[in-house]
Amino acid sequence: MCANKRILYRFVLNRIFKANKPDVMKDGFAVYMQRATQELFFTNKLNYLLVCVPLAIISNGGGWGDGLTFTFSLIAICPLAERLGFITEQLAGYTNSTIGGLLNASFGNATEMIVSMYALKAGLLRVVQLSLLGSILSNMLLVLGCAFLFGGMSRKEQYFNAEGVMMNFGLLLLAVMGLSLPAVLHFTHTELHGTASELALSRFSSTILLLIYLAFLYFQLVTHTHLYEDEEDDDDDDEELVLGFWDSIVWLGVFTVFIAILSDYLVATIEGASASWDFSVAFISVILLPIVGNAAEHASAVMFAMNNKMDISLGVAVGSSTQIALLVIPFCVIVGWFMNKPMDLNLQMFETATLFTTVITVAFVCQDGRSNWLKGLVLILAYILLSASFFFHKDPALIGRQAASSVREWNEEF
């Protein structure tokens, strides 16, 4: 019996991990530590922004004000999220392609997930909805637009696998359906049991979307991997590993903890920052949070496009949007259910309309499998148009919450 268990254990390990694991310590422990430290903290110029991590902690503890604490926290999350992605890729290098893809999919939007959990805990349900909506809009319009624009400056046309991308858009349209039906139910006043019907429909739809996401992962990582591979360059799979397996896990935990701390600061100070900057919470949530928080991911998509690796660039932009729509948003609804928070999929009519028009517009732009600078410019201008609309948009739910918060603070002072 013990021998059979050992055989089964060895079989499972061989299926999960690569047979020929690289030896990162072949030159000695001291050389390994120097190389790992150099790669983690000093090879990327974005890491200079890590100085904002202690500044955010000091600002929060020293009472520098919500505006400064929010600013430092938002800027500091950018390099932390980029390093989290780097460590995830290092960890994935020790596994087979399926497990590696699953790791990248799981931690690809870890920052958004952590921020959303803290906002849920604080009862900022509207901020959760708007920040995740903003991530989808920025990825599909701003990131993809910049990739098409800068990639098309040196080439007349670029090509990508339209079949795999359109599969993503089919799933995105399904997600739009799930996100729009509660809003339509609300604004047509056809709920069977009032807001309870919206909440029940949202939880049921979220369960369906999560099941679809699991099916999509199996489709992407197992049965139809050829649709999501960049055939032009196979050398990326052989990228040198500089971190050990267990070191990668430790650093993954360390960076996740710091992102969690800064996410707590972000959630606690977003309303104060809104008042000090004279920007609406809706504009900060939909526009500023996604742009700054995902700046590293955005830059990588543009760099891939400039190197003519359009399939990878599309995977960053459209793939990330698909993951947020099918995984992160439904997951927040389910977690809110267990936390007894009425988190639903009713984004309100204005936000639902922006999401629907964005998905349709980008789907038409990408349907032929070709990109050029004009398509990129169209998407960027569309994002600027949406940004302006959110700048002038008044969100009743957030205005009511801010008014109640102001009254509570006034009562506490006097």
Note the pLDDT of residue 399: 60
Q: What is residue 108's predicted lDDT score, i.e. its pLDDT?
A: 66
In eight-state DSSP terms, residue 223 is I
Residues in the chain: 414
**Sequential pLDDT tens for the chain (414 residues):** 444 444 444 434 444 455 555 666 666 667 777 777 888 888 777 888 889 999 999 998 888 888 899 989 988 888 888 888 788 778 777 776 556 656 665 676 778 888 888 889 888 889 899 999 999 999 899 999 999 999 988 888 888 888 878 888 889 999 999 989 888 888 888 888 778 888 999 999 999 999 999 998 888 777 877 766 655 444 444 557 778 778 888 888 888 888 889 888 888 888 888 888 888 888 988 998 888 777 777 777 888 888 888 888 888 888 888 889 999 999 999 999 999 999 999 888 899 999 999 999 999 998 888 989 999 999 999 999 999 999 888 877 666 455 444 434 434 444
In angstroms, rounded to a whole number, what is the distance separating the alpha carbons of residues 349 and 280? 18
For residue 17, the cross-strand partners are 95
Q: Give me the residue label for tokens 């649709």.
A: 227
DSSP 8-state symbol, 158: E
**pLDDT tens-digit readout, 83-141:** 887 887 787 777 765 566 566 656 767 788 888 888 898 888 898 999 999 999 998 99
Q: Provide the pLDDT for residue 12.
A: 42
Q: How far apart are CA 156 and CA 143, in angstroms?
A: 20
> Closest by alpha carbon to 386, among 133, 113, 74?
133
Cα distance between residue 81 and residue 69, in whole Å: 18
pLDDT of residue 320: 84
159 in helix, strand or coil? Answer: strand
| CA dist 277 → 200, 281, 327 (Å) | 37, 10, 32
**Rounded distance between C-alpha atoms, residue 248 and residue 39, angstroms:** 12
Angle between helix 295-306 and helix 310-323 axes, rounded to 10 deg: 150
Which two structure tokens, joined as six digits, stand for 199? 């909440």
Q: Which residues contact 149 (CB under 8 A, 6 or more apart)?
A: 373, 376, 377, 380
Give φ, ψ of 371 to 5 degrees. -135, 155
